[in-house]
Structure 1
Amino acid sequence: MKGPNIAQDNRLTSARYELSLLEKRIMYFIIKEVRYQFVLQTDGQKDLFDDLIVKIKAKSLMENAGGNTTRDVKKALKQLRLRSFEYHNGEDENSPKHKWFEVGFINYGDWEGGNIEVQLSKKILPFMVELTKNFTEYSLTVAISLKSKWSQRMYEICSQWKNSGGVNLPIKELRKMFALENKYTKYFGFKSKVIDVAHKELKDLYMAGQCDLYFEYTELKEGRSVDTLRLKIISKDAQKYIEASVEDALYFIRTECKRIFETDTKPKNKNFIDNVMQNLILEPPLLKHCYEKIQFTLKNKPKADHQKYLRAVFKKEYI
């Protein structure tokens, strides 16, 4: 699915806040308008800010906010004014580098005729415009189509880290980002009501060609408790790379596996590799990952360990 892109500062992606589904959809639309009005349309210095007025066509907003009523949108605008956005830079309070502030997402919302006027505080504006290369870009069309606010948040996080292929996120940090320190306090509830909901929606949309990425995850434990989630992000960018050279990738993987696992003379190994290849073909985004794993093995592991190492990788990743 193609659509206009919006850019969001990674600090906003990582900050602690909670918005309803409709409020977040409206914020996506406002951010798109901020980019157009402030970044794309304006020349000059972009690191100094004042309060900014954003004007939005009510009809356009209604069409892009999921078919809600005017009453719903007005209520969401009111809530955005009352909602608190809290930021701190992580420095100790006694440090001269310490920075903290709290501000509403918007200063006011004004609906007159067919137009909506929203004012953004200069405090939050730098988080919404493209100042540095660290901004996350993601499709507005995808963002506003998501049906769960947890999917929206996980989509932002995945967009932030998709170029890295994944990220390890402590459960404690995720709870804070989602403003869930005191809700779903048991891991099972957090997993089933938040993480798995987002995982299913993003993956279903990705498989239907309506989303540019999704995530898989594994649980990392500290003792008996799950402490961290390891996200593996599968994106359309990786898929395009594979599609461009799929025959080369398949040929390389088949050829090297045949040699390393001696499949011509070892039937069990042949069955194992056939199973791996079948799964790779069914999951094209994994082809690039497998290609790179074999390349890494050939370059960095002793020849005697190639089969053992790759067998462990294949069992973990592809079977």
Structure 2
Amino acid sequence: MQDAQVYKANALVEASYRLSLYEQRIILACIAQVRRDKPLTDQQLYTVSAQQIADMAKISVDRAYQHLKTASERLFDRRVTLHEAPNGNGHAKVRLTRWVQEVVYQETLGTVALRFSQPMVPYLSQLTEQFTRYALADVAKMTSAHAVRLYELLAQWRGSGKREVEIEWLREAFQLGEKYPAIKDFKRWVIQPAIDQINEHSPLWVNWEQKKTGRKITHLAFSFGEKIQESRHKPQKGKSKDTAGKAPKNGSGALYGIPMPVIEKMAQLGESYEDAALRLLDESKRGA
């Protein structure tokens, strides 16, 4: 499953639903099995084992087995609110449906199998231009369901590197209900942990800021980009006098995943580009 790809219609990425972390893992592991060269029907059964979940989450098989059983039982009752057709065709409408029509738990084998509901099928197949794709491994190590959702919303705009969303829309998409009504709690318990996990575990680096309409905080603005290979290794302490204050010569246009124009603008007096990049990366994790 290491190279497995997840394909979702953008309308599904932006849908309103709530799934626990392990429910997300089951659903994504099944979506990653959908063949792109064959039509998907609601009669196809997709199986996920406790071993696959254990490998994805880096936990013991026994622990994965218990999570798999509990999550599979809840999945049958989970619903999703969709606001657009799979490829944006037709008039806007609100469609309330379920993720799956059947869940089969095979206790002796430690597996769960599911069939997607018929209305869900077009959002996982028959995709033309309006869809989001990412590697299952991008979110495998995340331990926050909100981090997985936010990563999808950013991956949807991967080409632009920027996305601004209304806070109330995001709360609805995450189905938070009455939880975290204060903006400080929403940022502390939902946004910042999600950003930290995306920066730590995914191929993307992310910075964010809040925006106001009048005196009220109403929007969150995200800037993000691909980490370069160099950033996936532990940086060496100290700096070379030959490279201090100079842009990298690798032609990547970024250092530790942060674009050089940003580093040049934010670098402090006497600070090397490497030190500035490391400082900015640390600040982004702390929401500075």
Q: Give TM-score scaled by structure 1 length.
A: 0.67
Distance 1:87 1:280 in 2: 44
Q: CA 1:162–1:72 in structure 2 vs 1: closer, same or farther (change >3 Å)?
A: same
Aligned to 2:244: none
Q: 1:108 aligned to 2:107?
A: no
Contact 2:101 2:116 in 1 (8 A): yes
**Cα shift readout 1:107-165 (whole Å, capped 9, x = no counterpart):** 11113353543111120122223612322112211212101111111111111112111
Cα deviation, 1:248-280, whole Å, max 9, x if unaligned, reads: 99xxx89xx9xxxxxxxxxxxxxx977387346
Give the C-alpha shift of residue 60 in structure 1. 4.4
Q: How does 1:65-214 map to 2 (within 5 A)?
A: 65-66=56-57, 67=59, 68-89=63-84, 97-112=91-106, 113-114=108-109, 116-129=112-125, 131-203=127-199, 205=200, 210-214=201-205
The CA deviation at 1:79 is 1.0
Q: CA distance change for structure 1 residues 28 and 132 in 2, over 3 Å: closer, same or farther?
A: same
Q: Give me the CA root mean square deviation.
A: 3.3
Tell me the amino acid that sits aligned with residue 101 of structure 1. Answer: R
Amino acid at match of 2:13: T
Question: Partner letter of residue 158 of structure 1?
Answer: L
**Change beyond 3 A, Cα 1:172–1:129:** same
Q: Using the alignment, how far apart are the partners of 1:57 and 1:246 within structure 2? A: 39
Shift of 1:65: 4.9
**8 A contact 2:4–2:33 mirrored in 1:** no
In the alignment, structure 1 residue 245 sits paired with structure 2 residue 251: yes
Q: Distance in 1 between matches of 2:188 and 2:254?
A: 40
Residues 247/190 of structure 1: CA separation in 2 closer, same or farther (3 Å cut): closer
SS in 2 for 1:164: coil
Moved more, 173-182 or 108-117: 108-117
Aligned match of 1:234 in 225, 231, 235? Answer: 225
Q: Deviations over 1:1-39 (max 9, x none)?
A: x733222221111110010011011111011012x3xx2
Change (3 A) 1:156 1:279: same
Contact 2:100-2:114 within 8 A present in 1 as well: yes
Partner amino acid for 2:213? E
Structure 1 residue 218, shift from structure 2 partner? 1.4
Task: Evaluate the alpha carbon distance shift between residue 57 and residue 218 of structure 1 in structure 2; reply closer, same or farther with a 3 A threshold.
Answer: closer
Which range moves more in the overlay, 21-30 or 218-227?
A: 218-227
Letter in 2 for 1:82: D
- After TM superposition, give the deviation of residue 89 of structure 1 in Å: 2.9
Q: 1:131 to 1:246 in 2, by over 3 A?
A: closer
The whole-number CA distance in structure 1 between the counterparts of 2:214 and 2:92 is: 34
> C-alpha offsets along residues 67-86 of structure 1, whole Å, 9 cap, x if unaligned?
33423212211211101111
Which residue of structure 2 aligns with residue 8 of structure 1?
A: 8
Shift, 1:237, TM fit: 6.9
Unaligned runs of 5+ in 2: 232-247, 281-288
- The structure richer in helix per residue is 1
Give the corresponding residue for 2:207: 216
3-state SS in 2 of match to 1:63: helix
Shift of 1:243: 7.5
Aligned to 1:291: none
Contact 2:51–2:64 (CA under 8 A) maintained in structure 1: no
In the aligned structure 2, how far is the partner of 1:6 from the partner of 1:276? 44
Partner Cα separation in structure 1 for residue 229 and residue 155 of structure 2: 13
Q: 1:157 to 1:243 in 2, by over 3 A?
A: farther
Equivalent pair of 2:50/2:64 in contact (CA under 8 Å): no
Unaligned runs of 5+ in 1: 91-95, 258-271, 287-319
Distance (Å, rounded) in 1 between the aligned partners of 2:176 and 2:249 = 40
Q: Which amino acid aligns with 2:99?
A: F
Q: Which amino acid aligns with 1:61?
A: Q
What is the identity, as a one-letter code, of the residue corresponding to 1:76? A
Query: Cα gap change, 1:226/1:274 in structure 2, threshold over 3 Å: closer, same or farther?
Result: closer
- TM-score, with normalisation over the residues of structure 2? 0.73
The 2-side partners of 1:243 and 1:172 are apart by: 43
More strand by share: 2
